[in-house]
Structures are given as C-alpha cells and as structure tokens.
Structure 1
C-alpha cells in the first residue's frame, strides 16, 4: 500500500487537502497527515504538527526543513502531496531530495494566477495541478476543482 504524506498550511489549504485525504483514504492509501496548526475540530485526529513559515518569517525555514526531514525519515512515505503554502513547498523540495514522488495542487483561491509557491513547485514537483481551467499550462495541469 502506498504511503502518502499530505501537508498543508491552515485555513483553505487544509480544507482542500482534507477532501483529498478523505478520497485517498477511501481508496486504501495510507495517508500521513501534516499541518501547521491544529483547530478545535481536528484535535483528536492523528497528525504531525510543524511550525508555520511564510515569506515574512523565513528565518524559521531551517526548523521546518528539519521537522519535515524527520517526518520523511520516520514515516517512509512514497509520495509527498501538498495544497500549499510555503511549508508544503518545503515538503515538496525535501520529498524530491529523498527521491519521493511529489504532487502540488494549487489552492482554488488562486483564480487569477498560480501562487508563488505553485509557480516554484511547477519546476520541482513531479506533478503540478491548478483548479482553474484558464491557468493550465504545459507543466501545470487542470482536471477540475476540489471544492
């Protein structure tokens, strides 16, 4: 059975990832959950918690890199999947370094252009997806939206 590390930042990124995780779990995949914060309704769920990083606090990037590497080593996943944001991109990069298959799904909130992390992921991830047909490119594919 394939093990998938599913990682997202809080908010809409995590809501979209939860839908993907549920679909993957229902198909028999072993989904390892990683998030940057825990919300009240997710408290009892099994997950790995990592620190949040963004462009405004890049000084924490080494800590997040260390946390993600520890999770990759401990879980021995086959695939790294993210709906964003920067912590997910870091996981995609670490996944590539560890020879894992990588998938980036850009947030549905990015309707006018692909996010900065998504534009970077398009060159790093094995597969990059958008949820808007008009944002599809040769490297970023559209197959519909999650929500």
Structure 2
C-alpha cells in the first residue's frame, strides 16, 4: 500500500470554503487532506485536520504578515506535496509560500467569477503550477486553463 499524498487545502470562509470542501470530498479517499481557513467556529468531521489562520483581505493588508507566519508554520509542520486553494487572500499567501518551499500548487478560481479572473487569482495566475477557471471564456490557454466543470 502506497502512502497517501498530503494536500494542504486553504481558502477564505463562505463560498470559497464551500467550493473547496466540495472539491476535497472527492479527494479524501486517495489523499490526506489538511485544511486551513480563517474561521474558528468550523467544526471538523471525524478524521479531519483543520487549522485556523488569521482572516485577511485586500482591505487589511497588514494582516498578511501574521497570516504568512501561520501558513508557513503549517506548511513546514505538515509538509504537504500539494497546495490547493479556491481563494481568496489566505490562498494567495499559501500559493506564494508554497512556491518558495517548492511545493506543487493548484488554484481553482471561484465559480462566482463569471466576468473576469478574481483579484486574488490575478495575483497567483503566473505563479501557481496549475490555475483553473470554471468558465471557458476566461481561459487564456497558457496560465489560465479551462478543463470543464470543476464543481
């Protein structure tokens, strides 16, 4: 039996989190998922490992520093093979730190972004190893890929 690959799944609360957990539900049989989100009220299911990180947004950039320390600590402690995020700012932090630590990164832009790539997606689209959009017209076939419906 081969060891399960460890995936670090991180997002903002709300819709980003709902999308992330739906994606990860299909991965849990084959992978060990370690979650992180800025919400201490989330109750994990059995066998789920969930970390709480500081909430950060474009409106409070000063919180990026403590968030980066928290995410960096989790990455060094857990040593995932892959980072997966649906956004927003905590995911950007994780993708950027993941690149520094040579961890494979996957960004799936929120299904809610129909007209254009999200603001956080724009920050990572040239840095993530895989960047997926859920809308074909937003694909550029280089950095932003459309591979069909994700959710």
Global fold match (TM > 0.5): yes
Instruction: Tell me the equivalent position of 1:139.
Output: 143
Runs of 4+ in 1 over 6 A off after TM superposition: none
- Between the two proteins, the alignment pairs up a number of residues equal to 144
Alignment of 1:1-147 (within 5 A): 1-26=4-29, 28-39=30-41, 42-45=42-45, 46-137=49-140, 138-147=142-151
Gaps of 5+ in 1: none
Task: Decide which structure has greater helix share.
Answer: 1
Counterpart Cα distance in 2 of 1:44 and 1:118: 27
Indicate if the aligned counterparts of 2:89 and 2:120 stay in contact, CA closer than 8 A: yes
Counterpart Cα distance in 2 of 1:114 and 1:73: 30
TM-score normalised by L of structure 2: 0.91
Counterpart Cα distance in 2 of 1:97 and 1:139: 19
Q: Compute the RMSD of aligned alpha carbons.
A: 1.1
Counterpart Cα distance in 2 of 1:145 and 1:52: 28
Q: How far 1:38 moved relative to its partner?
A: 4.1
| Cα offsets for 1:105-129 (capped at 9, x unmatched) | 0000000000111112111111100
Counterpart Cα distance in 1 of 2:146 and 2:69: 32
Indicate if the aligned counterparts of 1:16 and 1:146 stay in contact, CA closer than 8 A: no
TM-score normalised by L of structure 1: 0.93
